[in-house]
Structure 1
Amino acid sequence: MNSATPSAVSLFSNCGAGDVGYAKAGFSFRVMAEIEQRRLAVALANHKHACGVPGDLRFTWREVIASFRSDAGPERPALLSACPPCQGMSTARGGRGREEDAEAGSRDGRNLLVEVIAQVANRLRPRIVVVENVAAFLSRLVLDPRNDEPISAAVLLRDLLDPRYECYPFLTDLADYGVPQRRVRAVMTFIRSDEPAVAALAQSECVPYPMPTASAEDGNWTSLEDALSQLGAKPLDAKSEVAARDPSQPMHTVPVWGSNHQYRMVAAIPPSSGGRAWDTAVCEARCDSPVGADDAVCATCGNPLLRPVVCETDGSFRLVRGFRRSSYSRMRPDAPAPTITTASGHVGSDNTIHPVENRVLSPLECAHLQTIPDDFDWGTALNDWGPTAVRAMIGEAVPPRFTEMHGRVLAALLDGRTEGLTSANDRRVAKADGRMQRGLPARHLTAHGQLRQ
């Protein structure tokens, strides 16, 4: 490894897929930290020069510092990247409360893991810190551990970091950067104020993010159909074990549904329609009977409709209780895929059904839509832990296509160059600023929610 190569440290590394982009941009990871030993093994297989620190970072963050120091001595890392868990930020599940409910937000300790990031950053003093998370990270309120005051994790992180870091929040759909899925993410980049890059950004009226390469307005987002065509994977079908897998490509396999109701329900959704099983108006016997939006059985034959239904203990049927807007739905082929999540293998999760074929997407296809490189080394993860664990790693990854573009901008800034930067007046900056303002402690705001002068 060239001594001139900018060094990097990764926290909450997952499988290391997101950091592959920063590595392609020229950063060399010396330390990777991940709570799951198995995920860390995958990360280290793809970052050969890194030392691994397994375990809960609330207890192992000092080991991260020691590991970097033992390898790099007094050198400061050029980059600290972190992607803390986002599950606690969601308000979609019971018990998490609304976004402004700080007490509910604090029930999940993962929402306060920014404290670990600040601990490591304030001691290693990296030139740049990058933190990625869901949009709610900027505004979802938690209780400040210092004074029990409502504050967002993003604002807390900014406050805990050394004040010599300049903060640049950003909120974007990664489809604007050629990622073939809708994936809205918050990114916070912190640069030390003594870096020439800070003055250069101020002079150019830009922020440290790459210019978007696509937009919905220009009609040049990468569609799911184009992305899957580029991959060229073998057609699959969930009806049988043989049809549900490609023996030549272990990552290209899907759950088997056989010939049961679930399979027939999916098969009844017209291909390429983007349709939902909730709207299917036929039953198992294909009777020609009027069907209401809330009906679960056919009025003529009593058979269940080809909809998401549950058989009760008394033999009656009812519709599944759940989100009807996007669950049990085919993906639209002419648009970017919906967000690839950890639940990509579940037919009842948000928009997981293949646009044409009767199945969900395979781990191979999900990795492709996440822009994880074809040569990414998954080791024995698929055989040892199964596709569910691999899908979880894929769903939690930051798309390397974006991190590579971001990394190239950051590397140029550290080298004194301002190339291909987004304007400070861009709507993505304004949206992030607005979200962060909602996450400020009450003492910073007027009675009308405006920032105090």
Structure 2
Amino acid sequence: MTSAPKPISAIDLFCGAGGLSLGLKQAGIEVAAGFDFDESCRFPYEANIGARFVHADIAEVTAEHLEEIWDGAETRLLAGCAPCQPFSSHRRGADTSEESNWSLLEHFGRLVNETKPEFVTMENVVRLMRMPVFEQFVQGLEELGYTVDYRTVNGPLFGLAQTRRRLILVASRQGEINVPKGLGNGPATTVRDIISGLPVLENGQSDPTDPLHRARSLSPLNLKRMRASKPGGTWRDWPEALLAACHRKPSGQSFQSFYSRMEWDRPAPTITTQAYNFGTGRFGHPDQDRSLTLREAAMLQGFPVDYQFVPTGSKPTLSKVGKLIGNAVPPAFGRAVGQTFIRALAQSIEQGEPT
């Protein structure tokens, strides 16, 4: 008779506000801890994930730190999303070359090499696949005996109401493993599905029951631009008098999605760290004359409506919380990857059982 496998114990490097950890928990994985260099991640991580938060520079984290947290766990998962730009205090001088931006991934690989967990996963920007440091990371995993798979995934295929294309890598020392392909070709989750139930707000208005549901005040000019914008349209829909100087230059002709509205019945565009700012993308509300709120951005990123980013009674800062939301791994990706590891572990145990 096949025994039930013990929970996989995960450590989330570069954990941020907890998007990846939340998805792993939803899949049934036990999250032991999250590491991040940004202290502002502590509250949302501990409050929502209920796991230990370690404020640390990844360059100073050792195998002993991780093994102490895993504490003899039978099946370990090392997960993470190394930031696109280095936040470590150990930057390599003033080198700004593209390869130097990935030094954090090298430390991720170092910790894999030193601890050799049963499973590894990474989420990152798609262009990382073209970098030598990624080739070295994959080669290092393979030399350690891991089966490795990676590919580009897109949010709507995983039930995310956002066209977010990311690189996902999975690696296993327990046998065959593959990046999940998503939920199939059913109807995409839309902006309407996710945020239409939130209270209606005017420009600059706040929801008294939710400090994150606050509309940033638009200038009189940008309010006119918002009112002239059509869902799914561009600034070309505006009267000539509303055009910005950049729109009149040849170099600005290609920026069609800036100063524009989302559409109710399609997924949102990629949620960035400034998704609350009408001028930085297609971040106008579909029919309310305002930009997205932090709560709407978080929900479109896949966080539940009650996810806490700041302590009760605290006033959220647009830039700080916007960064936490925009840099997060959508929980939908973490959930799909977590389910993949759970199935792989169960299959490994079944194949290892005596007949």
TM-score, normalised by the number of residues in structure 1: 0.68
The structural deviation recorded for 1:369 is 0.9
State the match for 2:66 in structure 1: 68
Letter of the structure 1 residue corresponding to residue 226 of structure 2: V
- Computing the radius of gyration from Cα coordinates, the structure with the larger value is 1
- 2:325: which partner in 1? 394
Q: Counterparts of 1:278-317 in structure 2 under 5 Å? A: 278-282=236-240, 305-309=241-245
Q: Note closer, same or farther for the CA distance 1:103–1:37 as it changes in structure 2 (3 Å cut).
A: closer
Cα deviations by residue, 1:261-288 (Å, 9 ceiling, x for unpaired): 1111111113x3x112243135xxxxxx
Match of 2:233 in 1: 275
Question: How far 1:384 moved relative to its partner?
Answer: 5.4
Change (3 A) 1:171 1:237: same
1:405 is aligned to: 336
Mapped partners of 1:73, 1:249: distance in 2: 39
CA offsets 1:128-182 (integer angstroms, 9 cap, x no match): 100001111111x3xxxxxxxxx2x321211233431121012111111110010
Aligned length: 336
In 1: Cα distance, 2:109 partner to 2:148 partner: 13
Amino acid at match of 1:403: G
What's the counterpart of residue 98 of structure 2? 105
Once residues 49 and 395 of structure 1 are traced to their aligned partners in structure 2, the CA distance between those partners, rounded to angstroms, is: 22
1:124 lines up with 2:89 in the alignment:
no
SS for the counterpart of 2:108 is: helix
One-letter amino acid of the structure 2 residue matched with residue 31 of structure 1: A
After superposition, the Cα gap between the structure-2 partners of 1:222 and 1:47, relative to the gap in structure 1 and judged at 3 Å, is closer
Per-residue displacement from partner, 1:206-256 (whole Å, max 9, x unpaired)? x523342244xx6x1112223223xx1111222xx4xx2111221101211
Provide closer, same or farther for how the CA distance between residues 127 and 417 of structure 1 changes in structure 2, counting only shifts above 3 A. closer
SS in 2 for 1:337: coil
Task: Give the deviation of 1:320 after TM superposition.
Answer: 11
Three-state SS of the structure 2 residue aligned to 1:80 is strand
CA distance 1:129–1:381, shift in 2 (3 Å): farther
- Deviation digits for residues 286-325 of structure 1, max 9, x if unmatched? xxxxxxxxxxxxxxxxxxx122248xxxxxx966974522
Quick one: which of 3, 6, 27 aligns to 1:4?
6
TM-score by length of 2: 0.86
**Contact 2:310-2:316 at 8 Å conserved across structures:** no
> Which of 167, 177, 183 is the aligned partner of 1:213?
183
Deviation at 1:71, TM superposition (A): 3.8
Partner of 2:17: 15
Q: Are 1:135 and 2:137 matched, yes or no? A: no
SS in 1 for 2:61: helix
Cα distance change of structure 1 residues 354 and 163 upon mapping to structure 2, 3 Å threshold? same
Cα gap change, 1:48 to 1:175, in 2 (>3 Å):
same
Q: Is the 8 A contact 2:225 2:259 kept in 1?
A: no
Once the two structures are superposed, residues 334-382 of structure 1 have per-residue CA deviations (whole angstroms, 9 ceiling, x without a partner) of 2110011111122121211111111111111111111112332323289
C-alpha displacement at 1:184, in angstroms?
0.5
Alpha-carbon RMSD across the aligned residues, in angstroms, is 2.8
Quote the residue 1:249 is aligned against: 210
Tell me the residue number matched to 2:56: 55
Tell me how far apart the structure 1 counterparts of residues 287 and 315 of structure 2 sit (CA, whole Å): 31
Partner Cα separation in structure 2 for residue 74 and residue 28 of structure 1: 14
Alpha carbons of structure 1 residues 381 and 136: separation in structure 2 relative to 1, 3 Å: farther
From 75, 84, 87, the counterpart of 1:86:
84
CA distance in 2: counterparts of 1:381 and 1:336, whole angstroms? 31
Within the candidate set 177, 184, 193, 2:165 is matched to: 184
- 2:266: which partner in 1? 335
Instruction: Give distance in 2, aligned partners of 1:400 and 1:382.
Output: 26
Q: Structure 1 residues 381 and 158, CA, compared in 2 at 3 Å: closer, same or farther?
A: farther
C-alpha distance in structure 1 between counterparts of 2:242 and 2:49, whole Å: 47
Gaps of 5+ in 2: 87-94, 350-355
CA distance in 1, matches of 2:31, 2:191: 32
Work out the CA distance in 2 between the residues paired with 1:120 and 1:76. Answer: 18
2:45·2:51 contact (CA, 8 Å) conserved in 1? no
One-letter identity of the residue aligned with 2:288: E
Q: Residue 224 in 1 paired to residue 191 in 2?
A: yes
Unmatched runs of 5 consecutive residues or more in structure 1: 89-101, 142-150, 199-206, 283-304, 311-316, 419-453
Is this contact kept in 1: 2:155–2:165, CA < 8 A?
yes
Checking the alignment, whether the CA contact within 8 Å between 2:277 and 2:292 is kept in structure 1 is: no
